[in-house]
Amino acid sequence: MGYCTHEPIEVGRLMAAVADGERGGTVAFVGSVRGGAEDGPVVAIEYSAYEEMVAEEFGRIIAEARERWPEAVVAAQHRLGQVPLGEPSIAVVAAAPHRREAFAACRHVVEEAKRRLPVWKKEQFQDGGTRWREH
Amino acid sequence: MPSGGDVLAPTPRTITVECRFFARYAQALGRDALTLELPASATVADAVRELRRALPAAGVLPERPLAAVNREHASLDGRLAHGDELAFLPPLAGG
């Protein structure tokens, strides 16, 4: 399972990838496309990325989490291409023997992914207009 | 074993790096890649200056853009090497 996908994210597959009888706590973060009213209703977001770097940077971020919380296992995916309103654009799932490590590892990967992944989004409005969205 | 009198190969005076542009930058420049020749001791900041000088549309690049060298975030004073992949990244907006 790659870190980038052009298909809908299957959170269940990510959860299955980290599942293990010894890991009693699993935390899933799912970020989805929201409407936003600033410039009119957003109907979709077109995500583009420097895909080779996303793969490497996601790997580095997850390795950092593994170093800080050695018992946690993390799986993550970012969706690229056109993502309709309400559908997930990113999912991070962390499993650990106890909830504290699972929450911490999941949060670390989500925050660092937002800060470091080379991904860009272009909002698509109901009237057909588009706009690059920068945080 | 080379003797002490051997002449070392001369250091190349220029390097080439493969520049890549994404999202808003690629759109404004009308291209997503460019091979750039630079002095051998060039930094990322030198590459930015050279691009802004050589390409009128490169004004879209800020003086201090986010950059990555060989798929890792890089600082502007980072030294470039021949064959490096130098990517210019518009403000990140993932998630």
Q: What is the ipTM of this complex?
A: 0.89
Tell whether B46 is covered by a domain: yes
Which residues make Cβ contacts (< 8 Å) with residue B18, sequence separation at least 6? B33, B34, B35, B36, B83, B84, B85, B86
**CA–CA dist B42, B45 (Å, integer):** 8
Q: Would you say the C-alpha torsion B39, B45, B51, B54 has a positive or negative sign?
A: negative
- pLDDT class of A132 with cuts at 50, 70, 90: very high
Question: Is B91 in contact with A135 (Cβ distance < 8 A)?
Answer: yes
Task: Name which of B71, B73, B84 to mutate to probe chain A: the one with the most chain A Cβ atoms within 10 A of its Cβ.
Answer: B71
Residues A79-128: tens digit of each pLDDT: 999 999 999 999 999 999 999 999 999 999 999 999 999 999 999 998 88
**pLDDT at position B1, please?**
47
**pLDDT at position B94, please?**
85
In a structure prediction context, what are the per-residue pLDDT tens digits for chain B, which is 95 residues long? Answer: 445 556 676 667 999 999 999 999 999 999 999 999 999 999 999 999 999 999 889 889 999 999 999 999 999 999 999 999 999 999 999 88
Chain B residues contacting A via beta carbons under 8 Å? 20, 22-24, 68, 71-73, 87, 89-95
Tell whether B44 is covered by a domain: yes
Tell me which chain A residue has its CA closest to the CA of residue B32. A50
Tell whether B6 is covered by a domain: no
> Residue range A5-24: average pLDDT?
96
The residue range of the domain holding B44 is 14-89
Tell whether B76 is covered by a domain: yes
Into how many domains does chain B fold? 1
Tell whether B3 is covered by a domain: no
List of domains in chain A: 4-133 (3.90.1170.40)
Minimal Cβ distance to B90: which of A47, A115, A120: A120
Cα separation of the two ends of chain A: 28
Tell whether B95 is covered by a domain: no
**pLDDT at position A36, please?**
72
- Render the burial of B22-45: b for 16+ CB within 10 Å, e for the rest: bbbbbeebeeeebebebeeebbbb
Q: What is the CATH number of the domain that holds B52?
A: 3.10.20.30
Tell whether B8 is covered by a domain: no
Tell whether B7 is covered by a domain: no
Residues A20-60: tens digit of each pLDDT: 999 999 999 999 998 875 657 899 999 999 999 999 999 99
